[in-house]
Amino acid sequence: ETASAEESESASEVVSSEETTSEEETESIPKQTDDWNLLLVNSEHRIDQSFKPELAEVQNGYQMDKQAVDSAKRMIQDAKAQGVDLLVCSGYRSYESQQRHYQNSVDNLKAAGYSSDEAVRQTLSLIAYPGSSEHQTGLALDIVTPDYQSLDDGYAQTAAAKWLLGHAAEYGFILRFPKGKEAITKISFEPWHYRFVGEDAAREIMKKGICLEEYLSA
């Protein structure tokens, strides 16, 4: 799967549909924070349809929250100076864009003969339910490299992915969906998906090898 503008959540980004949680499950859900840079958005913490950050361009027309854009640009520039090309292939997505892609997928699958339930299930294996995507925060970037633009595990072996893993925290970014944390994040390993949380939080998260949900639950 090649990276594309505003078009795809990754094929591995799986979220649950509307579900209620038990009292025991609720106790384990990370607390939400008032800090803009630590906003948690996932299948259990959805973002309101009216939410829209103030945006600024980061690279090639892709936008993100203006409060994080300078850090992202500095990261890209410093990587370039060290011989590593970082290519943003997705940034901010509006609720409407997410809704459109989600519904188009459901409609196309139903037209192909899938039942309504199966069309939804198949869609959720490809596209995050509207309100559940981190891209709607403006704090997430999908970052590849010109020589390898496929959103798959092979990207993890590129110089770009290795550089990000070792240096992103210096700029306030974390690998948002690390390997081994799928049971917590509900999302498969995505070596291209980086999320701004601020330098202090990023350094702690990456040093400890934890995910954002675990950091906010501490």
Q: Give CA–CA dist 58/65, Å, rounded.
A: 9
Query: Looking at 9, 13, 44, 190, which residue is catalytic?
Result: 190
Structure tokens at 218: 């501490």
Q: Give CA–CA dist 98/166, Å, rounded.
A: 31
Reported pTM: 0.81
As a whole number, mean pLDDT of residues 25-31 equals: 43
| CA of residue 67 relative to chain centroid, distance | 17
Cα angle, residue 40 at apex, residues 129 and 16 outer, rounded to 5°: 30
The closest alpha carbon to 216, from 30, 90, 57, belongs to 30
190 carries an active-site annotation: yes
Q: Give CA–CA dist 169/203, Å, rounded.
A: 5
What pLDDT is recorded for position 18? Answer: 37
**How do residues 172-207 score in pLDDT, each as one tens digit?**
999 999 999 988 988 888 999 999 999 999 999 999
Q: What are phi and psi of 167, to 5 degrees?
A: -125, -15
**How do residues 201-218 score in pLDDT, each as one tens digit?**
999 999 999 999 999 998
Q: Give CA–CA dist 116/120, Å, rounded.
A: 6
